[in-house]
Amino acid sequence: MPELPEVETVMRGLTPVWEGQRFTRVVAHRPDLRRPLPEALGQRLTGATVVRLGRRAKYGLVETDRGDTLIIHLGMSGRMRVDPDEREKHDHVVFETANGRVVAFNDARRFGSLDLVATEAAAAHPLLAGIGPEPLGPDYGPALLKRIFGDRLAPAKAILLDQRLIAGLGNIYVCEALFRAGIHPEMPGGQVTAAQLKRLQSAIPAVLEEAIAAGGSTLRDHAAPDGTLGYFQKDFAVYGRDGSGCMVCATPVERIVQSGRSSFFCPACQPKAGPRRKT
């Protein structure tokens, strides 16, 4: 599933195509994706001008001058195809703008979604309500990490994946950030030391910014709106590298399963600590 860097890449790619432009035609070729599409989606968007584009956690946001915001969730395989040469089977919703551009929401597995809500109520929408601070936003910092780790018994990885605590982090980038910070993914939050938290504070935004600069990670379906594939996967230190030597110490990277998800780590660089508390 696309994580924060992939969604950020998509929304940045759409900004020069949509921002300030008027939708002249919006056509839905099926009534639903993961959920039913908003009622009269095409009618409500046709004639509206895009005011700004943004992102919240793993959701893309498109605000219009009609006081509505389109919430885009890419799901497992969603893509926004700009100026496609021809329509594809899974181009489920097509947007046309006054500048002659065409954008198709393509989703082969149909796990994505489109929701249209009043902008003033967007933050309270079930998809966005209760989401934690952005790791690239002004509320991110040492106080946040200290608070969310606290004395928790939950594993460090589970804490970082909890969208109620911190927004937008997914499996790939949590594995990479924990490696940089030297934290075992199974280490209880309350056992993470102050030194490790300090390293983690720097590692999370660094990993995300590097991934955004690389256009995200393309493992299956992700691509920027212009069709460009992300290439951050070439820089993975641990994710998907089980059995390969650690890039720091050459110890074989290991894989475990936590809550149904694969975790990758270096057992030498990320030792599983004992009952030691934070200092």
Domain with CATH 3.20.190.10 in the chain: 4-124
- Find the farthest-apart pair of alpha carbons in the chain and give their distance in angstroms, rounded: 62
Architecture of domain 142-265: Orthogonal Bundle (1.10)
d(CA 212, CA 168): 13
Tokens for 230, please give them.
């992300």
Average pLDDT over residues 138-162: 96
Q: Which residues are catalytic?
A: 2-3, 58, 261
d(CA 6, CA 231): 11
CATH of 4-124 given 3.20.190.10, 2.60.40.10, 3.30.450.20, 2.60.120.10: 3.20.190.10
Q: Which of 6, 13, 221 is nearest to 111 (CA)?
A: 221
d(CA 264, CA 114): 33
Distances (CA, A) of 73 to 66, 104, 117, 127, 267: 21, 14, 14, 9, 35
pLDDT of residue 134 exceeding 80: yes
pLDDT of residue 275 exceeding 90: no
Per-residue model confidence as pLDDT tens digits over 66-122: 999 999 999 888 889 999 988 899 999 999 999 999 999 999 999 999 999 999 999
Handedness of CA 181, 186, 190, 193 (dihedral sign): negative
What's the pTM value of the predicted model, to 2 decimals?
0.89
Please tell me whether residue 41 adopts helix, strand or coil conformation: helix
pLDDT of residue 154 exceeding 60: yes
Domain with CATH 1.10.8.50 in the chain: 142-265
